[in-house]
Structure 1
């Protein structure tokens, strides 16, 4: 799941003062014209609406009118939230101690775009958060409109819905209604992941940030289960996901090689579509031979395919083994682990990647 990272700040409970902090960012957008003003405006409005929708979780738990299922989810979430700060040494703040019902299945929609014959993303740069390979929109209509404009420019475009995101500690991030359908354990893992972004974040290096947060999520979940006396959970779904991602990444590498060939545009398009058909064929073979014919990725694989649709894969786990090695080196001490990760994050990106590869 891709999470858009926003970049504004307010003091807890001071929404009026917090909203005024949108002004400098909006002024920055004036340098780039009306289109940028519109984009930053919808970010400001969307974040403002989200802030207004927040309610402290203790208030909801104390309210007899709170729906029982919601109450149960919130109670479990607060146990995981306390564990995150007390045991995983993640930030101890109001994030995920407030709740917001946004009345829709996704909080934002991310728009990815690439050239027709390239897997290099169209990047977008923001204050504090740095450069990322997508733009986020708080309305599905806004995302579709932006995607349509990019398609007219000849780009490959993909829209992905996002159930949760981190503001890197600049706001008190809420538990959202869009997060509650996952189950209590998955909700806990997302809290660990998003709080990890608040603990360490490196500008302009999505793979580093997401791999770090994914490791914290995985190791945190293992410890969370152990603390409750539960055995390590073996999930066929996790194995299937890994196998599926492996297929997509292999297809992406073949496409990269294809796009270096001196082919005419029509020949390149035909070869590109042939590669997508190969991906579909290999997926169906895997599904039918190893998964008993039941595949959770059928809808994704059968939908229209393009370069942009492949972009999110690999960002979340590229460096997970490296971070696991760092954690082992510091003897599982979370504070020392974060300190070492921060040291690596301060290195120039080329040197940083060499260190991670060495690990």
Structure 2
């Protein structure tokens, strides 16, 4: 995930006026608070009060950080060479909103970053208050914790993005993927195209994570991650099927005729099928993460499915593009930058399809005009 840097946010106050001053202030002050809590990793390693377990994780992250630059062509800069203990469950909480009969996320627009399909808060109570405001406007909403984010390299002069207590305890493979994902945002970022940005970074993390596990991790870490990732892939496949089913409902003749009673019944049938299939899927899982998706399923709605689509929809195209570029990272980044420079989302999708050879079988939520639906 990416988030506006603190200085960019502060500048946005003057560009947009004071109507949203409180939001920009919490964003700038929230990030500054994280930066103040951060200390270079060597200082944590030298502190006798720091646990051996945390020191081992921090040492691991620095190996991952070096691998990111030496093997994946990701930037070698101050980011992820410091660590901050936030004493809370998430770095930020994102609010996403969608209409009752659409998966198209509501957009919030900012100078520099363009329009994005979420609004981030450093305080969970503030995020929930925003969610309630969106509900009063008739939107379906979701609030979800974000363990890490990137300031796109804007804050490297001040020490860069730190490692955080919100994700330092993740399994080795997932820890590597988070670092690779956030550094990928520093390579390129297209203002206003959330699906392109997140799908690209997700492809980098998946390819890079597999390479890390293959070349650097021990067999126990590979086994641990294999179970972790199998459940995630199973769930993502189910969610993708459900997004397709819901899209079919919202584009149905009944929806075009505005027969909302029938559309609602079709929607509820799709959601009931999703929950039944999840219960069956979960019955085949075991281990400590068997219940990992229960909360997500319980609150699943258009906003939640729309947000997940931003991270998944174009990933196969980016992965195939990497293969077509000979698994050569500099060539891959050069080609992605070429596509990213195109002026519209439609042009980028067409160029990505042509370059990768992957036919897009369904449109991403961000490609559609708000209907009402997000």
Q: Is TM-score (shorter-chain normalized) higher than 0.5?
A: yes
For 1:193, the equivalent position in structure 2 comes to 181
For 1:86, the equivalent position in structure 2 comes to 70
Verify: 1:297 aligned to 2:293, yes or no.
yes
Distance 1:222 1:120 in 2: 31
For 1:283, the equivalent position in structure 2 comes to 278
Deviations 1:121-179 (A, max 9, x none): 11011222221111000000000111111111111111011110011011210000001
**Root mean square deviation, CA, Å:** 2.3
Distance 2:105 2:161 in 1: 28
Verify: 1:173 aligned to 2:169, yes or no.
no
For 1:242, the equivalent position in structure 2 comes to 233
Q: 1:292 deviation in Å?
A: 6.9
Higher relative contact order (CA 8 A, sep 6+): 2
For 1:344, the equivalent position in structure 2 comes to 339
Verify: 1:332 aligned to 2:327, yes or no.
yes
What is the TM-score of this pair, normalised by structure 1?
Answer: 0.87
SS in 2 for 1:111: strand
SS in 2 for 1:109: strand
Partner residue of 2:352 out of 329, 348, 356: 356
Q: 1:37 deviation in Å?
A: 1.2
Q: 1:317 deviation in Å?
A: 2.8
Distance 2:10 2:188 in 1: 26
Deviations 1:79-108 (A, max 9, x none): 111111122121111100011111101010
Verify: 1:221 aligned to 2:209, yes or no.
yes
Single out whichever of 346-355 and 127-136 deviates more from structure 2.
Answer: 346-355
Q: Is the 8 A contact 2:85 2:165 kept in 1?
A: yes
Q: Is the 8 A contact 2:100 2:140 kept in 1?
A: yes
Extract unaligned runs of 5+ from structure 1. Answer: 10-20
Change in 2 beyond 3 A, CA 1:137/1:23:
closer
Verify: 1:184 aligned to 2:175, yes or no.
no
Distance 1:89 1:26 in 2: 35
Q: Is the 8 A contact 1:200 1:342 kept in 2?
A: yes
| Equivalent runs, 1:1-359 vs 2, <5 Å | 3-9=1-7, 23-30=10-17, 33=19, 36-171=20-155, 172-228=160-216, 230=218, 235-260=226-251, 261=254, 262-288=257-283, 290-291=284-285, 294=290, 296-301=292-297, 303-348=298-343, 349-358=345-354, 359=356
Single out whichever of 137-146 and 195-204 deviates more from structure 2.
Answer: 195-204
Distance 2:91 2:336 in 1: 30
Distance 2:331 2:278 in 1: 41
Q: Is the 8 A contact 2:57 2:169 kept in 1?
A: no
Q: Is the 8 A contact 2:81 2:162 kept in 1?
A: yes
Change in 2 beyond 3 A, CA 1:221/1:304:
closer
Change in 2 beyond 3 A, CA 1:149/1:283:
same
Q: Is the 8 A contact 2:95 2:118 kept in 1?
A: yes
Q: 1:333 deviation in Å?
A: 2.2
Distance 1:130 1:99 in 2: 29
Q: Is the 8 A contact 2:116 2:194 kept in 1?
A: yes
Distance 2:217 2:96 in 1: 42
Change in 2 beyond 3 A, CA 1:146/1:4:
farther
SS in 2 for 1:125: strand
